[in-house]
Amino acid sequence: MPLDITDSDGLARLALALNERYRRLDILVGNAGVAGPLRHLACRAEGLERGHGGECDANWQLIRCLDALLRQASGRRAVFVTSASARKAPAYRGPYAASKAALEALARSYAAETANTPVRVNVFDPGRSARACARW
C-alpha cells in the first residue's frame, strides 16, 4: 500500500485495511531519521520539524493506529530502529540524532505502557554493519 508515513489519515486507512484483511499485525517496525547539518536544515522551515517532530509523530501515529491489531496477534512485537547517534549526537547529524533520541523515548514509553500485556517492545541498533552495507 503506497503511503506517506507522515500522513496520519493514511495510517488510519492502513490500519483499517490491515484489520479487514488480516485482523491482526504480527510485528510493527518503526524508524526515524533525517540527515544533514543543523545550519543547512535551518534554511528550510520544515527541516528539524520534519526530522524530529514529523517522524516522531509518524511513529506515534503508527503505534496509535496499529496497537489494537498488534494486540490481536500471537507474536505481538514492536521493534524500533535506533542509532548510537541518539546518545552521541555527533557533528552534522543533529536532526538525525534528535529524531533517534525522540524515537527511543517514544519506544520506552510504549514499552512501559504495554508492560502488563503480551506486547513486547524493543529498540534495535543495527550498528556499523548497516551503515557499511548502505554504502554499496
CA distances from 89 to 35, 54, 63, 85 (A): 12, 19, 26, 5
**DSSP designation for 81:** E
Domains of the chain: 8-134 (3.40.50.720)
Q: Annotated catalytic, 22?
A: no
Give the pLDDT confidence score for residue 8 in this predicted structure: 86
Q: Which of 22, 92, 96, 110 is catalytic?
A: 96
Mean pLDDT, range 91-99, rounded to an integer: 84
pLDDT at 37 exceeding the cut of 60 = yes
Could you tell me the three cell numbers for 102?
525522540
Give the pLDDT confidence score for residue 36 in this predicted structure: 63
Regarding pTM above 0.75, the answer is yes
Q: At 104, is the pLDDT very low, low, confident or very high (cuts 50, 70, 90)?
A: very high
CA angle (43 as vertex; 37, 45 as ends), nearest 5: 110
pLDDT at 95 exceeding the cut of 70 = yes
